[in-house]
Amino acid sequence: MNPTQVTHKPLLSFVQIFNMSFGFFGIQFGWDLQRANMGPIYEYLHASPDQIPLLFLAAPLTGLIVQPIIGYMSDRTWHPWWGRRRPYFFVGAVLSSICLFLMPNSGALWMAAGLLWILDTAGNIAMEPFRAFVADKLPEKQRTRGFAMQSLMIALGGTIASSLPWIMAHVFNVSNENNTGGIPPSVKYAFYAGGSIFFIAVLYTILTSREYPPADIGFKDKVKESNKGFGGGFMEIIHSIKNMPAKMKQLAWVQFFTWPGLFLMWFYYSTAVARNIFGATDEKQAIYTEGVQFAGLTLSFYNIVAFVTALTIPFIANRLGRKLTHSLCLLCGALGLLSVGFVSDKYMLYGCMTGVGIAWASILSMPYAMLAGSLPENKIGLYMGIFNFFIVLPEIIASLFFGWIMLHLLNNNRMLAVQIGGVMMILAALLCLFIVKEKKNETAPEEKIAEIEIEGQRSI
């Protein structure tokens, strides 16, 4: 593309929108692959259940630190061939793919935890600029379509990645055996495939999509703003926190209790299924790996449920209101997590994950739809970063302190930990119902809602 200033963005075809979004398939593939398998990998490496939360501390810390830095830097980057966002896509994809190849070959806990830290950092480097890519490339009237395509890539990537170890074992006949005490071949090959898919998908977007040069005035203004230094930016963030819109303060409590329920599921669900439902007593047993892989299959199913639910939830919200809709969806998720402890047949887990999938669809949309009309236009990015604090902070708290609860109060019972996640979702549903204020016929433009929803998925 000729590096001249573009003042009018042309409409893009379906293929062009697909090309610019396909990299997200690879990025989400990496996220869900590690999310579904890191708990079992830590146990393969002889971590005790009370150590697991602390070993997951990398994700929230890296997201909290790296995302705003990369967003800030990519706003102020330009290269005639690489463009603005694509250099970060490439660097993040290379580092992430290397980590995904190395992760299943970890010989010690410290190595796996260190690789997870690098993987989350690299994943954020690749992911964060993708959020702005849609706004950069698409005219206003096509942004909803662009965000919808990214959401489709998120759903597809998560669905396939969560089930990949099971696919390796049952479709490609890769061994589940773990007699040496290491990580089974089926998990290793899943990570090798995941690393390849991550890199190829992002590279496809880099090679098939070009970027418009930044408009001179806007770009210079951002560079000029950056001269305020760290202190000026910090003071602006503090001022914005003190003056948060009332709706954001209400929803912050809902988010603060929603996300620990999800974190506890990601920490312990797969290993709880292997031990409590499949009856494994040791991570070296083949049945343990079989249980973990079946759990991944059910996690894949909740992504499918979430995608289908996302197609219908706007119509339900129009009838019931967004607040009541979100409360009911959270209760469905809570019921799903609580019922895991009463499962007697492994196939009943699909019913449990149906509830979680309904909640997940609402978690990715309703809070942002409720928030959209209350945010100032010139500070949407800043306030979405602040709103993200109420996702990240509870994860940090859970990572730091839930290990003590597991050891001293729950006797390292993984299933109880998952069910406590359900209790947290019930609290979130009640807070949403009784604290969040919703005016009758309260609306916001669909384009703004879509942009805020995808912007808010930074931690996914």
Per-residue pLDDT tens over the stretch 387-445: 878 888 888 899 999 999 999 999 999 999 999 999 999 999 999 999 998 776 555 55
CB count in 10 Å sphere of residue 4: 8
Q: Residue 114 burial by CB count (10 A; 0-12/13-18/19+): exposed, middle or buried?
A: middle
Q: Which of 89-98, 207-216, 287-296 has the lowest mean pLDDT?
A: 207-216
The region of weakest confidence among 223-237, 330-344, 373-387 is 223-237
Of 28, 35, 41, whose CA–CA distance to 197 is shortest? 28
Average pLDDT over residues 1-23: 76
Q: Please list, in sequence order, all residues whose beta carbon lies within 8 angstroms of the beta carbon of residue 210, skipping any fewer than 6 positions away.
A: 1, 83
CB 254 within 8 A of CB 280: no
Task: Tell me what the mean pLDDT of segment 84-98 comes to.
Answer: 93
With 70 as the cut, is the pLDDT of residue 447 above it? no
Helices (H), 138-245: 143-170, 185-208, 216-226, 229-242
Q: Can you tell me the mean pLDDT for 33-45?
A: 92
Full-model pTM: 0.83
List pLDDT tens digits, range 197-222.
999 999 999 999 988 876 644 555 55
CA distance 342 to 419: 10
Q: What is the CA radius of gyration of the chain?
A: 22
Of 140-154, 281-295, 324-338, give the lowest mean pLDDT range: 140-154
Q: Which residue has the tokens 């398998």?
A: 37
